[in-house]
Structure 1
Amino acid sequence: MFQNSRTTVLALVRRGRLGKAAVALVIFFLLACGILAFNMKTIKIEVDNKVIPVTTIFNTVGQALANSNLEFNPEDVVDPPRNSRITKGMRVVVTRSIPIHLTVDKQTLSVRTTAKTVGEAINDLSERYGLQIKDVDEVNEPRSEDLKEQMDIKVRRSVPVVVQADGKTINTFLAPRTVAEVLKKLNIVLGAKDKVSLALNHILTANEKVKVVRVAEKVETEKSEIPYQMVTQPGDYPVGLPDKVISRGSNGIQEQTIRLTLEDGKEVDRQILEQRVVAAPINELVSRGAQTSVSRGGQTINFKKAYIMRATAYCIPGGITKTGAPVQWGVVAVDPRVIPLGSKVYVDGYGSGRALDTGGLIQGNRIDLYMDSQAAAMSWGVRYVLIYLQ
């Protein structure tokens, strides 16, 4: 009886332990599934013009791609980058690389690139492999050509050369070739008379310089004026007054036919082939005042020069002039740059006077005349008169 009871107890204990283990295992499984479900993310991969959803538990784009059932190459471009952390609903764009063959320095590389054109591929591979391919290095395909799978791209190294032409200095790199071929490649077309510093069949080496001088000849017809001359004759009016035109002059015209030689646009030689007068010049005839004396009030006034001036009358009794003389009849205020102070003058309608005063407003051909009364000054007012410098 006692033995049966003990056996029953032990069986119950064993069953309890197994039950607990089973429960723990179930809980662990549920927790693992929960954690896995929590960490699982779905991203959309855009590749080959398709959008493919991929569910992953990995944290970075690169890990997700590497553990997907899709095939990718290390040269493929991934956006966002492979080291980016994944977020739910992330969109990943993969640009496939294609295989091509690149030959540089007699060595052929079989590589992959995502470039779209030959030029982009050369730039990409030059940077990636340290090839230092320059833009002017020779390429067997146009750099703008679309890139195709298994395309063979061949690059010829160039050397530095200097070409001077058309006012420009071109520092460039070209594969070794003759001067004529260099000019052709640079689209420099030679004229029949152009000069080149090196022989056209000379093969250029590094840092050699080629200078092209453009030589042109042209025949031009040039017309130029033949200036007319001024011929004067004595006039019957006071010296100093403006000349009077009797007949207008006009320039003549001559025509020359000229052969010009130009080097780089600069004239280096000219030859007159023909010259003729198209129209002869006509001289201008003017009358110039010659009188040095006039008769006024029965007396002869001799003078050096005559002026037409704006004359203003004034009356300020007891005033002192610029020269210190008292104001009185015959005192004339002048611009000393025109009529020197102290000069004797004769003013038509006023009479004899002397330049003894100046004034702030008396500039150029202007004078002030002193009057003995305000009435006389008002009567004179302002008028233009002939002034004779004696």
Structure 2
Amino acid sequence: MELVHKLLPASKKKLVISSIGVLALVLFSVFVLVEATKAEVVMTDNGEIQTISTNSNTVGDLLQELGITVGTYDFLSHDETESIEDGMEITYKTAKQITVSIDGKEQVYYTTADTIEDFLSEQDLSFQERDEISHQPAEVTEDGLHIEVEKAYQVTINDGGEKKKVWTTGGTVNDLLKEADVDYEKDTDDRITPALDEEVTKGKTIAIVRVAIEDEEVTETIAFDIEERQDSSLLKGEEKVISEGEEGTVTKRFKVTKENGEEVSRELVSEDVKEESVTRVVAVGTKEEVQESNLVTLANETPKDSSQDGETITVTASAFTSECGGCSGVTATGINLGANPNMKVIAVDPNVIPLGSKVWVEGYGEAIAGDTGGNIKGNRIDVHVPSKSDAYSWGVKTVQVKVLN
């Protein structure tokens, strides 16, 4: 500068100094003008707030100036083509990638929501309270977050015949029964299917068979026997009770198994006779009497003595009465037993004893072989008696039969 001063005349010096001053003034004016034309913008970038003075014309220019590239799923409060204005507030959020797995099926989402609750609402994903979600609704979303959801389903529990449906997201049968407050004991006879350690599946029914084993004591009567004694002082067909029979009693103990309250088996454990039965003794008449037949063909015939000669056959003899249900009371040979209840008639197999034959039957007397029967085959006969009680008294016997003619 001293050299300039020395070389230039005073007038020239003044001119140089003046030019430098003008240039500085111009530059200062330009700077002031540029600064004066800048817009002041409040920029919120993923939660960070800063105030920016910018000469950018559009929002896109400002973002480029700040090195921000807006992705497809990112949030920007203004369109990138919108002009910058002083005092403008611009908000930008980078989208986060979140994977949601529902019952093992995955789907990827992008969101700028701050919390999981907001994200689920944004994506219209709703779950029931009983569904199992890996994260709490109030948790903050993060890029790369993986949310796992197991949706609850219904399982039927048949507890001793009473059915109820419960919600579950899986686990073992044992876990489910505990969740459903179903009481059971492992060391009992109860049966649970599927097994306690098996996994529960959708639509499965868990069955509990409640098994109860009880001791039961029962007192039963013992029927008395009937003893028949032949009595020659009584006419045949007559009976007289010599001594009444008495029923006895026995106490039986059973082991009774019940399933769901229903008896399924009964096992006799012991029996104790408390009182023995007393046999009933009945006198049965054996005295013969001559009977008159109502049949015209037999009316005037004199019955043969049972001791006369004739073919003797050993047969099984039961008894019948015209009072039986469905019986007409008329025999195969036309004898009306309904009108003649005391008539001695027997049913025979015609191949063994010819129909119409006179016979003598041990313990019954003389009779007519006047009827047949579906069960009367071979050496078997059926003797006619006046009443059902007489038939019961006769029972089934083995007797001798003589064919008299």
Q: TM-score range by the shorter chain?
A: 0.3 to 0.5
Q: Tell me the TM-score normalized by structure 2.
A: 0.35
